[in-house]
Amino acid sequence: MNKSPSKPADSLTQSHDGMTHSGLRKRIMLKCFILSLLFTVAVGLFLVGIFVAGNKLENLLFYARVPLKDGSSLAIRNCVYFCMPATIIIFIAANFIPYKAIKNKEKIKSFSKKTKFGFPLNQMRFLFNHGFLISSISIVLAIIFLGFQTSAWSYIAGMFRTTKIYEEKYVAPQDQTYVFPSEKKNLVYIFLESMETSYASVEDGGFMEVSYIPHLTELAQDNISFSDTDKLGGAQPVTGTAWTVAAMVSQTSGIPLTIPISKSNFGKDDTFLPGVYSIGQILEDAGYKQTLMIGSKSTFAKRKDYFEEHGNYKIFDYFEAQKKWASDPEENLPEDYYVWWGYEDFRLFEYARDEIENLANGDQPFNFTMLTVDTHFTDGYKCEYCPESFDNQYANVINCSDDQVYDFVKWIQNHENPEISENTVIVISGDHLTMDHSYFDSIDDSVKSRGRRIYNCFINTGLSDKHTKNRVFTSMDMFPTTLAALGVSWGNDQLALGVNLFSGKPTLSEELGLDEFSYQLASSSDFYSDYIMDKNYQKYTLKPDEYEDEVGPSADSREGEYLSNEQKKRDQQSKSSIN
């Protein structure tokens, strides 16, 4: 008997191996459901990559290791809002389309026969039969894309190579002898959240047609501001300095915040970078009274730990403000008052005025350090005092911060107490570039090619601006430069990996080249792990032939003679001023 040739089973519509149509339909739908999950994961990873573009993996890994409960959840919520709609649509569509295809299989087959390429049946069959391969490739591509968006691949590569930059270039701050002026100067150090010189006008060196920061530009032009050009510029972002905590560490201690993957914590015995020796410790040893004031919760990202362990700072944060609200009827704020990251910058500056007056009335020199937050991405926080000068919120918030900082600086300069107005050095510094990198997408490439830089300004230093222009420097150079601004000397021009910019000595970025310097910082370091993280000073003895200007018996003699001469000059100046 002749048998007609059998037709191949259609995996989307027919049964096989004795399986019922109902059983096959369930199997198809189960596979479609699994594939929909895989495709949804791929789309989700891709969207996350778009949202976090410009944020470094080192930044994300740091926050993955610290408690997030005391920070703002807004960025996380915005990420969810950005990614969730598309992923939900993909998930629903990937399940709904196969369901409708099975339910209307005869209509689809009929329509497919009329088309030249068997559309859509052939395409659906291809996707179904190769779904696991396609979805796997999609996930891999999404991971690669996410890696490029967060510089993950360069970070991972860095963990597999080692650097000797610390052994070769690091100058231990704790090994130096510091000489202060006979009348010690006070310090007000203002960290400005996400403040970069890109917000200035094109004419002044920024990106904007109309400046968002006219007052900060004026302060920089009228005082001392270090720049990478002959106009308004600033510090270059490098590995381990590009988010708030890393910026605060690098600017106060001259090292990047690069936590090795192999480490489960930030220092032994639950300490935070115990091997660091910061400006806070130097000033504490010199008798300074110190305060850190922030408008958020200081416990977020271990900021409280850092400043308490490295300088014994008094901390005034959101929690302390709550106590003030409870005890001060004039505040008249509810107990659970909470906006943005805690409370607004205009309140922060009000509290700062009170604290500076209290510090100035004491019998010790003071270091008052503060951090603003309203300009944090995304879009910033628009308070009741923000102007409507521009057509978008972020521009108005930045402009508002510009006004508030300027008013605060003028309050200091015009204060009736000379301890505040005359004997205080003011340092204003952006902490890092804004993480809202897409904000500059509309800027012409010819303008953006000049590069984005971190703002800085030094006020009332009494020092020369001879070496301020066309410099290549990073946040780490702020550490010794701030000490020099206070009139402090220590026998050389470097501390940790930072160089005193007032000296004119080449920074490590200038000596090695910025790309090479950043490359070395992104590499794994046994020195960093042992010396900075574990405070194992004994393991690394700096060799006299490598550090002949800093260590060894002959160096001690030279440094002692130098410091003695410096002190004699200061004493002579003091006597001259009295006479």
**Last residue of a domain, which of 158, 175, 197?**
158
In a domain, 451, yes or no: yes
Residue 154 lies in a domain: yes
The residue written with tokens 């090292």 in the block is 255
Domain that holds residue 338: 184-509
Please give the pLDDT value at position 220: 98
Mean pLDDT of the 528-537 span: 88
From 134-138, 380-384, 420-424, the region with the lowest mean pLDDT: 134-138
In a domain, 526, yes or no: no
**Phi-psi domain of 465 (left: phi exceeds 0; alpha: psi -120 through 50; beta: other):** alpha
118 and 193 in a single domain? The answer is no
Same domain, 45 and 142: yes
Q: What is the 3-state secondary structure (H, E, C) of 325-348?
A: HHHCCCCCCCCCCCECCECCHHHH
Residues 371 and 470 in one domain: yes
Give φ, ψ of 573 to 5 degrees. Answer: -65, -40
Under 8 Å between Cβ of 225 and 458: yes
Of the ranges 141-145, 220-224, 431-435, the best mean pLDDT one = 220-224
Q: Single out the residue in 479, 509, 539 at which a domain terminates.
A: 509
How many structural domains comprise the chain?
2
Residue 9 lies in a domain: no
Residue 201 lies in a domain: yes
- pTM of the full predicted structure? 0.80
pLDDT over 70, % of the chain = 84
Preceding amide of 378 cis, omega within 30: yes
Strands 314-316 and 366-371: unpaired
Same domain, 226 and 138: no
d(CA 178, CA 30): 72
Task: Tell me, yes or no, whether 290 lies in a domain.
Answer: yes
Better pLDDT: 547 or 542 = 542
Predicted local distance difference test score (pLDDT) of residue 66? 62
What share of the chain has pLDDT > 90, as a percent? 54
Q: How confident is the model at residue 152 (pLDDT cuts 50, 70, 90)?
A: confident
End residue of a domain, out of 509, 544, 560: 509
Q: Is residue 172 assigned to a domain?
A: no
In this predicted structure, what is the pLDDT of residue 569? 59
Both 393 and 310 in a single domain? yes
- Per-residue pLDDT of 154-212, as tens digits, reads 777 777 889 999 999 999 999 999 999 999 999 999 999 999 999 999 999 999 999 99
Structural domain includes residue 164: no
219 and 357 assigned to the same domain: yes
Distance CA 410, CA 72 (A): 31
pLDDT of residue 67: 57
**In this predicted structure, which of 310-319, 363-372, 382-391, 541-550 has the lowest mean pLDDT?**
541-550
Asked if residue 154 and residue 189 are part of one domain, the reply reads no
The predicted structure's pLDDT at residue 190: 98
- Do 209 and 100 belong to one domain? no
Other beta carbons within 10 Å of 194? 27
